[in-house]
Amino acid sequence: MKNTYQLLTLICLMLTGIISANAQTSTYYATHHNYQAVSVADGLIQPWSMAWLPSGEMLITEKPGRLRVVRDGQLLADAVSGVPEVYYQGQGGLFDVTPHPDFDDNQLLYLSFAKPTGGDGSTTAIVRGRFQNDRLTDVEEIFAANSVGRGHYGGRLAFDDDGYLFLSIGDRQAAPEGDLENHPAQDTSNHHGVVVRLNDDGSVPGDNPFVGDSDYEPAIWSYGHRSPQGLAFHPETGDLWESEHGPQGGDELNLIVAGNNYGWPVIGYGVNYGVGNPIHETTQRAGMEQPKHIWVPSIATSGLMVYTGDKFPDWYGDIFIGGLAGQQLAHIMLEDDFRTVDREETLLNGLGRVRDVRQGPDGYIYVAIDDRAGDDETSVIRLEPLQ
């Protein structure tokens, strides 16, 4: 009996060690809050964006052109019908999803995507439709950018408190060559490298900064962007924050102000891919905005979120930005004015390419992990605090 008791004790100790080891591998340490990563939805192909309906259902876009639903903790097997055809090549595909602020009343859902325009052409577009019974109906295109190119679609959507819809659009990979001041992202007669502001039906608000100026596309809110990847409003200030890919270095976190020029490719902090020679003659110029934070080398910034939940109270008001090439989640701590960057810490090192980060209605932080090639299934995970 004694030997049996000792054996059982040894087995219990071994199991405890295994459990402790497993718990340790799922534990992450960070400023103010330690946390663990818990899988929410597995078996996804290139998840790009996440959103929640008032009912608590979670929506996930997959870049190949599928909209998925997580209900009662389970990823539904069937994709939502009614999603438009997308241009799924290179950086193109299905991008963002967001419900209308009055979704309870109108059931309107908005999707951004790479729209095929014939041949190898494509542009960034928005559709809206009514989401009922796991189907999209009455789908209509409400906006299509007048910019065509190979990549740098942008595609992030954000509603402000007044019900205006904002969309990021990249420079479509127009090469920074020759006279940089004549680059398409500095040409305000098109939608290359801009953030646009729209009414919820896709029309242009009459108080946009360039309405009535024939040198500007009236939908433009800001311009001079390269590849804007994240877009979110700060609830304390109403400020619009944007994360942006630089080339080889020079990723940016920008505070977006109506009518301002953010400088690409005239100014910046990156260099040309591969060869490493400078693109810009200078990093600053009068009349062009400076980023609030930069990454050199590039982490390939992706989705952006402002945290306002109660699960991580010491992170309230901070900004979180995904990193694709960096395979990380950047935590940007702001000072008390919520406009000045204090410092940065790196979270989730090595878990995979972070495509999007969002706050769920439960106050937890959700992260979409992306496989670049689309060959492997990936997941959405939830960050939960450890007491």
Q: Look up residue 22 and give its DSSP letter.
A: H
CA distance 342 to 331: 11
* pLDDT at 371 > cutoff 90: no
Residues 6+ apart with CB under 8 A from 50: 58, 59, 60, 61, 97, 356, 358, 366, 368, 380
* pLDDT at 5 > cutoff 50: no
- The three-class DSSP label of residue 104 is helix
CA distance 44 to 331: 25
Q: What is the pLDDT of residue 373?
A: 79
* Percent of the chain surpassing pLDDT 90: 86
* pLDDT tens figures, 123-163: 999 999 999 999 999 999 999 999 999 899 999 999 999 99
C-alpha distances in Å from residue 354, one per residue of 19, 137, 379: 27, 31, 10
Q: Which of 23-37, 53-67, 240-254 has the lowest mean pLDDT?
A: 23-37
Identify the bridge partners of residue 288 per DSSP, sorted by sequence position. 261
- Residues 204, 232: contact at Cβ < 8 Å? no
Q: What is the pLDDT of residue 3?
A: 42
Q: What is the pLDDT of residue 350?
A: 82
**Nearest CA to 244 among 231, 261, 260?**
231
Q: Look up residue 327 and give its DSSP letter.
A: T
* pLDDT tens figures, 292-324: 999 999 999 999 999 999 999 999 999 999 999
Identify the bridge partners of residue 357 per DSSP, sorted by sequence position. 367
C-alpha distances in Å from residue 50, one per residue of 59, 89, 167, 174: 6, 21, 16, 29
* Mean pLDDT across the chain: 92
Q: What is the pLDDT of residue 274?
A: 77
- Residues 48, 94: contact at Cβ < 8 Å? yes
Does the annotation mark 152 as catalytic?
yes
Q: What is the pLDDT of residue 230?
A: 97
Catalytic residue among 32, 33, 100, 152: 152
Going 211 to 214 to 218 to 222, the CA torsion angle's sign is negative
Would you place residue 372 in the very low, low, confident or very high pLDDT band (cuts 50, 70, 90)?
confident
Going 176 to 180 to 182 to 186, the CA torsion angle's sign is positive
* pLDDT tens figures, 77-119: 999 999 999 999 999 999 999 999 999 999 999 999 999 999 8
Question: Which helix H or strand E contains 135, and what residues bound it?
Answer: strand 135-144
Provide the edge-to-edge strand list for the sheet that holds 293-295. 227-233, 240-245, 251-256, 293-295
Residues 6+ apart with CB under 8 A from 233: 158, 160, 161, 239, 240, 241, 306
* Percent of the chain surpassing pLDDT 70: 93
User: What domains does the chain contain, in order, with CATH numbers?
Assistant: 35-385 (2.120.10.30)
The model's pTM: 0.92
Q: What is the pLDDT of residue 351?
A: 87
Q: What is the pLDDT of residue 8?
A: 36
**How many other C-beta atoms lie within 10 A of the C-beta of residue 6?**
10
- Tracing tokens 């389970």 back to the chain, one arrives at 74
Q: What is the pLDDT of residue 363?
A: 98
Q: What is the pLDDT of residue 387?
A: 74
Contacts 24+ apart (CB under 8 A), 209-217: 209/258, 209/259, 210/259, 215/188, 215/189, 216/188, 216/189, 217/146, 217/188, 217/189, 217/190, 217/191
* pLDDT at 21 > cutoff 50: no
Question: And the tokens for 294?
Answer: 């930069």
* pLDDT tens figures, 170-212: 999 999 989 999 999 999 999 999 999 999 999 999 999 999 9
